Chains A and B, each alone.
Chain A
Amino acid sequence: MNRMKCRRCKAPAVVEVRRHNAAFCRDCFERHVRAQVVRAIEHYDMVGSDDRILVAVSGGKDSLALWDLLLDLGYRADGLYLGLGIGEYSSRSGDVVRAFASERDTRLIEVDLAGEYGFDVPTAGRKGSRSTCAVCGLAKRYVFNKAARDHGYDVIATGHNLDDEAATLLGNTLRWQTEYIARQFPVLPAEEGFVRKVKPLYRLSELETAAYAFLRGIDYVVEECPLVAGNTQLRYKDAMNQLESTSPGTKAQFFLSYLDRAAPLFATQDDAHLTACERCGQPTTARFCAFCRARAQILGERLAEPGVVGRPDEREVADLSEEVMPVELYGVNP
């Protein structure tokens, strides 16, 4: 049988990485993945050896692979799981994250969106003015930053991989959202209420993170979120994968070349002034942060009078339906 051979040791290969024109056996593949993460961390000085890292874990392959890698590399990495209230999908996600933390005897912080903030993601999708995925992303970014501040972590690590970043860059480029493009970086430094955010998997494709999680015996949620079907990000990924199938390396070239050559051209002097949200104290460019505005809309509350429930007036509704300011999504410029 003509099996592919490992590029390094010539043993039978189990994973092919076409953009590197290479295949690897199990041991050499795990070494390859670790090397890519170390390279990412060192290149952008993402974390120091004494930093306390909070890994945002969803139960999917990327975030659990990231947590596993950071622990394996000797970092002080705890997990943060946000319960989104998406039925059986969220139940299973919570179970695999708890099992992972228990097996590795490491700390897991849990936040329940409905318990803490009074709404879950399906409700937000029905009642809010943003799409389900948009409000879910907004809630995650808010809770990750708040939890990291509340518990004294130095850095938040997320499992965004090369495919995620290439698809996001494609979407932002198609619309020439230059402010968003300028902030799409593997590191966003701590500033004015924002904890440093890092993406140590940005050099690895989804195939690589999935293969790594599988080979490491990590039980992760294979099922896709039932609310995500047909979202824009998936369409961009599909387009990138079609290009990649005939020209391996397209995704890496697009995103990594952006970082090296184009990102400096988009870096602007950011004069956005951040203040504390009047309701929750988290950083914002407005009187109330985007999360509090969205939450008030979902719960039918008036923001100016905390705790008073009532229908928002037309002016508030118009304000709430505005797009979230990029700085609130991504933090300030690196």
Chain B
Amino acid sequence: MKVKLRNPDREVEVAGERKVHDLLGELGINPDTVLVIRERELLTREDRVREQDEIEVRPVISGGGGR
């Protein structure tokens, strides 16, 4: 599957079906710090992603002060 990562934008290929939780673990990403998006829908940790999926992993952390 294609996994789009942000900040900076890049794409990685991951083979095989698995849970979102496992995918994030393999990519070294803390699940509490990202939205996982497939076809304009949010996925939870327990959802499974498949070989043909295109996934976006979108960070939720923003920095800076005085917002």
> Which residues A209-267 have CB closer than 8 A to chain B?
209-211, 214-215, 222-225, 228, 231, 233-234, 237, 241-242, 244-245, 248
- Closest chain B CB from A325 CB (angstroms): 15
CB-nearest residue of chain A to B46: A4
CB-nearest residue of chain A to B7: A224
Given the complex, which residues of A lie within 8 Å of B62, measured CB to CB? 60-62, 206, 224
B47-67: CB near A (< 8 Å → 1, else 0) gives 110000000001111111111
Q: Let me know if B64 and A133 touch, CB within 8 A.
A: yes
Question: What interface size band does chain B fall in?
Answer: 20 to 34
Q: Let me know if B63 and A1 touch, CB within 8 A.
A: no
Q: Let me know if A4 and B44 touch, CB within 8 A.
A: yes
Given the complex, which residues of B lie within 8 Å of A231, measured CB to CB? 63-64
**Which 4 A/B pairs are nearest by Cβ-Cβ distance?**
A137-B66, A210-B60, A137-B65, A140-B66
How far does the alpha carbon of A223 sit from the alpha carbon of B6 in the complex, in Å?
Answer: 7
How many residue pairs link A and B with beta carbons under 8 A? The number is 106
Q: Let me know if B66 and A136 touch, CB within 8 A.
A: yes
Dominant SS among interface residues on chain B:
loop
Q: Let me know if B65 and A133 touch, CB within 8 A.
A: yes
A10 near B: Cβ within 8 Å?
no
A125-143: CB near B (< 8 Å → 1, else 0) gives 0000000011011111100
How far does the alpha carbon of A140 sit from the alpha carbon of B44 in the complex, in Å?
Answer: 36
Q: Let me know if A15 and B44 touch, CB within 8 A.
A: yes
Given the complex, which residues of A lie within 8 Å of B41, measured CB to CB? 14
Given pairs A4-B45, A14-B42, A224-B62, 17 additional interface contacts (CB within 8 A): A14-B44, A15-B44, A62-B67, A133-B63, A136-B66, A138-B66, A209-B60, A210-B58, A214-B37, A214-B42, A222-B59, A225-B64, A233-B65, A234-B63, A237-B63, A241-B33, A244-B32
Q: Let me know if A223 and B66 touch, CB within 8 A.
A: no
